[in-house]
């Protein structure tokens, strides 16, 4: 019963459309009607500049982190690295990201879940979140394309869980690996339009100067 409560709570927290709120409160606009129509950091930043974009990232990150943190807090500290709890917390992380992608507040539509994934990973395994962040940043510095950075990170992310027995001395969980493969696959699928544009060489770069809010 407690498992389902926290999985549902994770989905609810993930569903909160902070990008939409930031757009309406800070920018006075519905971000779904501009740019890519996405409620995530990249589109908010394109529309309103770095301030609203960073705030959207932080809020989306925190909801993913909070979902896993609350679930972990309900566990006995001595049991946080058992096979059962590893699978449980991974399921909550999966649920939080799915909540962002299929928000109950937006008729089961939403964003692509990258910021929420970072937050969930940070609460689950900080080491993996840090490696994923480094991958994203390095790719962005090379290409200045947010979607390409996310896709590169998503392709690598599940395989990092194979390293956890050495990075943190935690038991390997095949079920956790499957959950992360499924999550990565779902998020890559949500980037399908970006993938088509990347293959055609038409995916736009995120120009920070143009998104600084100075028109």
Question: What's the pLDDT tens digit per position in 125-154?
Answer: 999 999 999 999 999 999 999 999 999 999
Name the nearest CA neighbour of 14 among 89, 74, 103, 129: 103
Whether the model clears a pTM of 0.85, i.e. scores above it, the answer is yes
Distance CA 45, CA 9 (A): 28
Name the nearest CA neighbour of 16 among 116, 147, 85, 92: 116
The number of beta carbons lying within 10 Å of the beta carbon of residue 213 is: 14
Distance CA 64, CA 159 (A): 20
Q: How far lies 197's CA from each of 44, 186, 189, in Å?
A: 20, 18, 14
Per-residue pLDDT, 203: 92
Per-residue pLDDT, 79: 67
User: Would you write out the chain's pLDDT as a tens digit for each of its 215 residues?
Assistant: 788 999 999 999 999 999 999 999 999 999 999 988 999 999 999 999 999 999 999 999 999 999 999 999 998 766 667 888 999 999 999 999 999 999 999 999 999 999 999 999 999 999 999 999 999 999 999 999 999 999 999 999 999 999 988 888 888 999 999 999 999 999 999 999 999 999 999 998 876 434 333 33
Give domain limits for the chain: 2-200
Distance CA 7, CA 94 (A): 9
Name the nearest CA neighbour of 92 among 122, 124, 59: 124
């Amino acid at each position: 019963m407690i498992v389902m409560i926290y999985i549902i709570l994770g989905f609810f927290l993930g569903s909160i459309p902070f990008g939409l709120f930031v757009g309406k409160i800070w920018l006075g606009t519905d971000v779904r009607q501009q740019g890519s129509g996405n409620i995530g950091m990249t589109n908010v930043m394109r529309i309103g500049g770095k301030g609203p974009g960073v705030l959207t990232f932080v809020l989306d990150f925190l909801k993913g982190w909070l979902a896993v943190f609350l679930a972990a807090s309900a566990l006995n500290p001595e049991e946080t690295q058992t096979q059962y709890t590893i699978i449980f917390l991974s399921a909550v992380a999966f649920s939080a990201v799915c909540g962002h992608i299929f928000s109950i507040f937006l008729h089961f539509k939403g964003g692509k879940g990258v910021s929420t994934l970072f937050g969930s990973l940070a609460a689950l395994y900080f080491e993996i979140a840090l490696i994923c962040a480094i991958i994203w940043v390095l790719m962005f510095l090379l290409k200045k394309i947010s979607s390409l950075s996310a896709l590169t990170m998503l392709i690598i992310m599940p395989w990092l869980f194979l390293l956890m027995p050495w990075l943190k001395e935690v038991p390997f969980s095949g079920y956790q690996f499957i959950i992360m493969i499924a999550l990565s696959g779902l998020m890559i699928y949500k980037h399908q339009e970006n993938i088509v544009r990347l293959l055609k060489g038409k995916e736009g770069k995120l120009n920070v100067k143009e998104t600084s809010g100075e028109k």
